[in-house]
Amino acid sequence: MNDMSSFAVQEFYSARELAEIAKKRGMKNFPQTERGVQIYAKTASWHVMGDRFCRKRAGRGGGMEYHFTLLPDEVIMVIEGHAMKEAVKAAQAAGHVTGRSKMDALKAALLGSRARAVMEARAEVLQSIDGYAISQGQRRSWGITQFLKAQETYETRQDIEHRRDAGQILTIEEAASLAKPLLLTADHGFCLDPKRIALANDRKNTASVKRRAIYDWFKTRDEAGATALAPTPPKAAAPIHPGFAGFLKYYAIGSKPSAPDALKKYLEEENPPKEKRITLNQVKYILEKRLSNIERNVGREGMLTLRSRLAYVTRTTDDMWPTTIYSGDGKTFDAEIADPVTKRPIRPEITTIVDVVTRKIVGISLGRSENQRSVAEALRNSCVNNGIPAIFYVDRGPGYKNNAMDADVSGLMGRLGITKMHAAPYGSQAKGRIEIINGTVWNPLAKDLPTYMGQDMDKEAGDKIHKLTRRELKEFGFSRSLPSWQEFVRLCEEKVEEYNAKPHTSLPKFEDPETGRLRHMSPNDCWEAHRQKGFEPVPVDEAEADDLFRPYEIRVVRRAQVEWGTNTYFDRELERYHTQKVMVGYDYHQADKVWVREFDVSTGQPGRLICVAGFMANAERYVPLSYEEKALETRANARKKRLEDKIEGVEAERNAPYLVDQSETIEASFLDVAPEAVETVSIDPGPIQLAVDNTSIAPRRRTFGSDEELAFWALENPAELTRGQIEVLRECMDSATARELFRLSGIDTEALRNLLRVVA
């Protein structure tokens, strides 16, 4: 079996083996030397457990061996994890060998009839030599010598028979040799047929094979397999025209020009010398006769399209139990749903996890985008309701490849004992089972809704429902055409139940107990069939289900306090952990408390629960700030800052000095001097030129109450955007917090990003 349930753990371990395991894993709470382990065993009184648990190793000078169950839990976890990884490696190696054998078979099938016959004849000669040497308990070199002797004897006998048939007189010795049976051929079983030997030599009239040739054939077969025994083409193919490489610069591009157009452009723009000028007939011959279907499309098609032309391997799960592999993927729903908070239209993200063996949907989560929280929730639902998987097979999206999932300390994979595998880039074919569910479950559900907006949606109908929903939102604050979030959740749950109960053509057939007819199993039927064969899922303890999936981070205790975000949490139980590292678990939607556990140095995972620390006042604030509230406050502060800047500008404009027309003379009579000593001073500023032409006053600038309102308006009125509004939106898109708030408000951030790119 190739499933992970087949991995084996060694029953007894010596002190040296245990020390090597502890040293390799860097375990601090278990001895890393042989002598240290012996002292540890003596202190723990392992020797008093009897021969069933502590025995002397067989052989001379054998030391003591200790049973697997005597070891501490941490050591047992390390050994079991290592055994599972070795099982995964062995399964992958077996798959590699199987793949190589299939590729060898494919190469042999592509050989011509003559080359395949030569390959089979040579393989037959080598197999006969190996078989005889093994049967006699001898080496291959001895078998080759015996083959050459048998071949010489056979040739001599054939020559004598030919002379006898021609009427020539034979000697007494020759006549006696004909009277004896040819035991060498019968006993050895060597391939000595002249036609087969001539075919193996790949020559018509050569009925014997030389020693050097046999050794060369053995070397080739051992290094590259039996298919390498096929002869190489006797005539090397003519070199490709030197001008073809230049032609490819204009032909192997994504726009896929025709060969005549590409050749014309090459000759006109490159103006190559005479030796590199290629004709259209030469180009067509090379494309059709010298290049394969893959080679002639390189550059004209992307890697994903090219892979669809290559051979693929069908993976079977016949020998696996359910929960061996879970596969997950996210899909943006192809219909608009009313946001549960803002009531604005959004396209939610559905994260689906399916059991690969039974094709059963074991868990889903519904969110605004594919992220760590939605993936964790889907994985939690799957594990709690159907069992913990051995392997989690996903793509490389941000929801599956992040610190919370991968980190050695707080990663869900390590805490659950799950091995995560990522699909290779451009390798969506390997995740076909989860991709099929996206197309057979969620796409039909989206088409049932009036707000469907898939690629095949009629443009006129789509524009009509789009305008209707926006008009209703503007007038009433909600739209009757938008399905509510509660309705959406109900429809998704019904679709999952319907899919799991529906027969699946890729599952085996069985006799339906109700109708008595053969039909394909449904995912539920397949799951139940495995249960009847003895399958039991690995459950999640009900008491640990909530805390098991909570993210944890390393923090240092300071005077019975730990910090998370901008909050400080306190508990008396933390006093004895002053300056020590602990693991702090938190809830995304709850900020009044955190869960503090010991930091297990040996495994890097959260250990024993110390306490549930409560929020205490600190220098920054007196109200606990949750993850979402912090994001909202950050958005509000940024908005407040921009409004303050606008207010300052208005005040500065109001307090600016007015320009007045003052043409009269101002006498400086306020000076306390004699009138005759005072000169008359006049100020003549001249005509005042106003900078604004009253006949072309700009329209009043539109203002918005929030960045979200500006973003909604920008998507609907892109032609009216001003430079300042564009800059504000760019600042928002550069901020991770602002982007998250846009998504929470139902704004299509990708459409907004494309709009800003266009107006740049």
Asked whether residue 134 is domain-assigned, the answer is yes
Identity at 45, one-letter amino acid code: S
Residue 113: CB atoms within 10 Å = 7
Any idea which of 144-153, 377-386, 400-409 has the lowest mean pLDDT?
A: 400-409
For 366, 739, 754, 755, the CA distances from 750, given in Å and listed in that order, are 20, 10, 6, 9
Distance CA(386)–CA(539), nearest Å, equals 7
- At 311 the pLDDT is 56
- At 671 the pLDDT is 39
Mean pLDDT of 298-314: 63
Any idea which of 22-26, 114-118, 302-306, 747-751 has the lowest mean pLDDT?
A: 302-306
Asked whether residue 739 is domain-assigned, the answer is no
Is residue 391 pLDDT above 80, yes or no?
yes
Mean pLDDT of 732-742: 82
Domain boundary among the residues 625, 643, 670 is at 625
Enter the DSSP assignment of 234.
S
Report, in angstroms and rounded to the nearest whole number, the Rg of the chain calculated over CA atoms. Answer: 41
Per-residue confidence band for 695, with pLDDT thresholds at 50, 70 and 90: very low
Identity at 419, one-letter amino acid code: T
Cα 16 to the chain's mean position, in Å?
39
CATH of the domain at 581: 2.30.30
Same domain, 406 and 466: yes
344 and 469 Cβ atoms separated by less than 8 Å: no
Same domain, 211 and 330: no
- At 682 the pLDDT is 43
Mean pLDDT of 145-158: 80
More confident residue, 702 or 34: 34
Question: For 213-264, what is each residue's pLDDT tens digit?
Answer: 889 888 888 887 777 888 766 555 678 888 888 898 899 888 889 999 999 9
- At 6 the pLDDT is 42
Distance CA(33)–CA(26), nearest Å, equals 12
For 4, 379, 436, the CA distances from 370, given in Å and listed in that order, are 29, 13, 19
More confident residue, 71 or 581: 581
Burial of 567 (0-12, 13-18, 19+ CB in 10 A): buried
Any idea which of 48-57, 313-322, 426-435, 441-450 has the lowest mean pLDDT?
A: 426-435
Question: For 584-624, what is each residue's pLDDT tens digit?
Answer: 887 655 678 888 988 887 767 778 889 988 886 444 455 55
Q: Are strands 12-14 and 590-600 parallel, antiparallel or unpaired?
A: unpaired
Token pair for 458: 């009629």
- At 514 the pLDDT is 81
Same domain, 442 and 350: yes
Mean pLDDT of 625-645: 65
Distance CA(613)–CA(582), nearest Å, equals 12
Same domain, 149 and 198: yes
- At 524 the pLDDT is 92
| Exposure on the CB side of residue 594, measured as CA atoms within 13 A | 32
- At 42 the pLDDT is 82
- At 504 the pLDDT is 87
Question: For 658-680, what is each residue's pLDDT tens digit?
Answer: 434 434 444 444 334 444 444 44
Per-residue confidence band for 498, with pLDDT thresholds at 50, 70 and 90: very high
For the entire predicted model, the pTM comes to 0.44
Asked whether residue 736 is domain-assigned, the answer is no
Token pair for 187: 């006993």
Is residue 376 pLDDT above 70, yes or no?
yes
Asked whether residue 600 is domain-assigned, the answer is yes
H or E segment and range at residue 583: strand 581-587
Domain boundary among the residues 252, 272, 307 is at 307
The CA dihedral of 668, 671, 673, 677, to the nearest 10 degrees, is -20
624 and 632 Cβ atoms separated by less than 8 Å: no
Phi-psi region of 45 (alpha: psi -120 to 50; beta: other; left: phi over 0): left
Token pair for 636: 């509000």
Asked whether residue 472 is domain-assigned, the answer is yes
Domain boundary among the residues 82, 102, 122 is at 102
For 120, 505, 513, 528, 698, the CA distances from 510, given in Å and listed in that order, are 43, 12, 9, 12, 78
Distance CA(369)–CA(741), nearest Å, equals 12
- At 499 the pLDDT is 93
Which residues, in sequence order, are CB contacts of 701 under 8 Å at separation 6+? 722
Indicate if the alpha-carbon torsion angle 275, 279, 284, 285 is positive or negative: negative
**Which residues sit opposite 335 in a β-bridge?**
452
Identity at 176, one-letter amino acid code: A
- At 590 the pLDDT is 66
Pick from 607, 618, 559, 617: nearest CA to 584 = 607
Is residue 705 pLDDT above 60, yes or no?
yes
Among all chains, which residue has been given the structure tokens 């592999």? 325
The CA dihedral of 513, 517, 522, 525, to the nearest 10 degrees, is 30
**DSSP-H helix ranges across 564-704:** 627-654
Same domain, 50 and 22: yes
- At 308 the pLDDT is 57
Which residues, in sequence order, are CB contacts of 352 under 8 Å at separation 6+? 328, 329, 330, 331, 361, 363, 364, 378, 434, 437, 438, 441, 442
Pick from 643, 629, 645: nearest CA to 741 = 629
CATH of the domain at 63: 1.10.10.10
Question: For 277-291, what is each residue's pLDDT tens digit?
Answer: 999 999 998 888 888
Question: For 516-569, what is each residue's pLDDT tens digit?
Answer: 888 989 999 999 988 888 888 888 877 666 666 677 788 999 988 998 877 889
Cα 440 to the chain's mean position, in Å?
22
- At 419 the pLDDT is 78
| Exposure on the CB side of residue 316, measured as CA atoms within 13 A | 7
Same domain, 119 and 205: yes
More confident residue, 212 or 299: 212
Total domains in the chain come to 5
Asked whether residue 273 is domain-assigned, the answer is yes
Question: For 111-130, what is each residue's pLDDT tens digit?
Answer: 677 788 888 888 888 888 88
Same domain, 510 and 384: yes
Task: Name the residue range of residue 295's domain.
Answer: 244-307
- At 1 the pLDDT is 39
Pick from 333, 332, 314: nearest CA to 429 = 314
- At 80 the pLDDT is 77
Distance CA(648)–CA(638), nearest Å, equals 16
Among all chains, which residue has been given the structure tokens 């998987």? 389
Same domain, 434 and 334: yes
CATH of the domain at 526: 3.30.420.10
- At 75 the pLDDT is 81
Enter the DSSP assignment of 271.
-
Question: Phi then psi for 30, rounded to 5 degrees?
Answer: -145, 140
Mean pLDDT over the full length of the chain: 75
Is residue 728 pLDDT above 70, yes or no?
yes
Pick from 230, 204, 207, 233: nearest CA to 217 = 230
Written as one string, the DSSP assignment of 546-577 is HHHTS-EEEEE-BTTEEEETTEEEE-GGGGGG
Written as one string, the DSSP assignment of 190-230 is ----HHHHHHHHT-TT-----HHHHHHHHHHHHHH-GGGGS
More confident residue, 580 or 654: 580
Same domain, 50 and 135: no
Indicate if the alpha-carbon torsion angle 702, 704, 707, 712 is positive or negative: negative
Distance CA(504)–CA(523), nearest Å, equals 7
Phi-psi region of 260 (alpha: psi -120 to 50; beta: other; left: phi over 0): alpha
More confident residue, 7 or 8: 8
Give me the helix-helix angle, 736-744 and 723-734, nearest 10°. 100
Is residue 403 pLDDT above 60, yes or no?
no
Token pair for 405: 């999932």
For 245, 279, 287, the CA distances from 262, given in Å and listed in that order, are 12, 12, 13
Same domain, 75 and 146: no
Is residue 345 pLDDT above 50, yes or no?
yes
Same domain, 463 and 427: yes
Distance CA(123)–CA(104), nearest Å, equals 14
- At 115 the pLDDT is 81
Same domain, 351 and 402: yes
The strand order across the sheet containing 605-616 reads: 552-556, 581-587, 590-600, 605-616, 567-570, 561-564
452 and 337 Cβ atoms separated by less than 8 Å: no
Distance CA(72)–CA(500), nearest Å, equals 42
Q: What end-to-end distance do the CA atoms of the chain give, in Å? A: 59
Enter the DSSP assignment of 296.
G
Mean pLDDT of 372-388: 80
Token pair for 140: 């291959």
Percent of the chain with pLDDT over 90: 7
Phi-psi region of 746 (alpha: psi -120 to 50; beta: other; left: phi over 0): left
Asked whether residue 558 is domain-assigned, the answer is yes
Percent of the chain with pLDDT over 70: 70
Asked whether residue 317 is domain-assigned, the answer is no
